[in-house]
Amino acid sequence: MTPLARVLVTHGHVDHAGGAAAVAARMPDARCLKMPWPERDHRWPVPWDTVYIPAGLQGDLAAYLDSLARVLALDPARILPAHGPAIEDPAPLLRGYIAHRLEREAQIVETLRRGGAPLDALVSRVYRGLRADLVPSARETVAAHLAKLEREGRAARRGDTWTIMDG
């Protein structure tokens, strides 16, 4: 059996970090990595290493894609998510997540090429016929893509209107 090298904890909620101390006790050579949360980290007696989190601590799509690519490059045999069963063949799943985000980005770029619009109008165009209870999540997704495109110089916001910059 390959020894466990790293434990990556997404955040300091009990359902994500609660088992870290037990894992660290059984596998003392494994590094435990998590975003620092000084108000809660004392709850789990684990020697946490600090993981870089982008400024503002807001969802960052570029960082998310980069993190998926880095995990994929590690060629893990198994991923143990905080929720759900073990993922025994993670590479196809990780590639699928990356492909899905890039497909969504291409859809948003194509939508912008047909004409600039405010965020809510873009959400309606990208997610046609979406149930009302799913619109807030879709809005967050489109906003994350727009922020990434803006940082890359591929989209711009003028007032409330987003436009494409790359052609």
Note the pLDDT tens digit of each residue in 65-114: 888 899 999 999 988 876 678 889 999 988 988 998 899 999 999 999 99
pLDDT at 134 over 90: no
Domain residues of the chain, as ranges? 6-93, 107-164
pTM (predicted TM-score) = 0.66
Q: CB within 8 A of 152, min separation 6: which ones? A: 62
Which CATH number does 107-164 carry? Answer: 1.10.10.10
pLDDT of residue 18: 77
Structure tokens at 92: 């196809």
Its sign, for the CA torsion 6, 11, 12, 15, is negative
Distance between CA atoms of residues 5 and 77, nearest Å: 12
Element (H, E) at 157: strand 155-158
Its sign, for the CA torsion 86, 92, 93, 94, is positive
pLDDT of residue 57: 42
pLDDT, tens digit, 9 for 90 and up, residues 4-57: 777 777 666 777 777 888 888 888 888 877 766 667 777 877 777 674 333 334
